[in-house]
Amino acid sequence: MKLIISNVSGIPIYEQIKQQVKSAILSGELQEEEALPSLRTLAKDLKISVLTVTRAYTELEQEGFVKNVQGRGCFVMGRGSELIREQLICKVESNLSEAINAAQIADLSLQELHHLLDILWEEKKNG
């Protein structure tokens, strides 16, 4: 998994780690039961504080993305996990809202939008 830290984004480092781990899980790059990098090794590699990584991992656990097994490390929860599903639905909703915004600007009707969605869905299904 790629994990890099930006110094100019203005986003706190723990938040950057969280976001990147989350998107790796949501995209399937990190699979269920896969281990996250060891907390202390990641801190060393990224040259950041151990407590910063601890905070990112703890919050990921609270949000249901990973589980912490004492002495063994942090593991990815299944994608079927209710919380992760919720996150995915959230993502669908926000992307759809964006599509609606663009559709309204382009003066598309709801019917035309539905039609577009059907076409794209079929295309995706057929690879």
Partner 1 sequence: MDNFLEVSNLSKAFPGFQLQNISFYLPKGYIMGLIGPNGSGKTTTIKLILNMLKRDGGEIKIMGLDNISDEKTVKASLGVVFDSNYLCEEWTVTQAEAAVSVFYKNWDKKKFSELIRRFHIAPEKKVKELSKGMQMKLMVACAFSYDAKLLILDEPTSGLDPVSRDELLKILSEYIEDGEHSVLFSTHITADLERAADYITYISYGKLFFTGNKDEFVDMFRIVKGGRNELTLDLSEKLIGIREFSTGFEALIKSEDIKMFSHLDVEPTTIDDIVVFTNQEGDHYE
# residues contacting partner 1 (CB under 8 A): 15
Of 11-19, 97-105, 108-116, 119-127, which segment contacts partner 1 by CB under 8 A? 11-19
3-class DSSP state for residue 69?
A: strand
Q: What is the 3-state secondary structure (H, E, C) of 25-50?
A: HHCCCCCCCCECCCHHHHHHHHCCCH
Nearer to partner 1, 18 or 77 (CB): 18
User: Are 86 and 64 spatial neighbours (Cβ–Cβ below 8 Å)?
Assistant: no
Nearer to partner 1, 7 or 111 (CB): 7
Nearer to partner 1, 56 or 77 (CB): 56
Judged by CB under 8 A, which of 31, 40, 78, 94 binds partner 1? 40
User: Are 113 and 103 spatial neighbours (Cβ–Cβ below 8 Å)?
Assistant: yes
Can residue 16 be called a binding residue for partner 1 (CB under 8 A)? no
Judged by CB under 8 A, which of 41, 62, 94, 101 binds partner 1? 41
Contacts (Cβ under 8 Å, ≥6 apart) of 113:
99, 100, 103
Residues that bind partner 1 (CB under 8 A): 10, 12-14, 40-41, 43-44, 47-52, 55
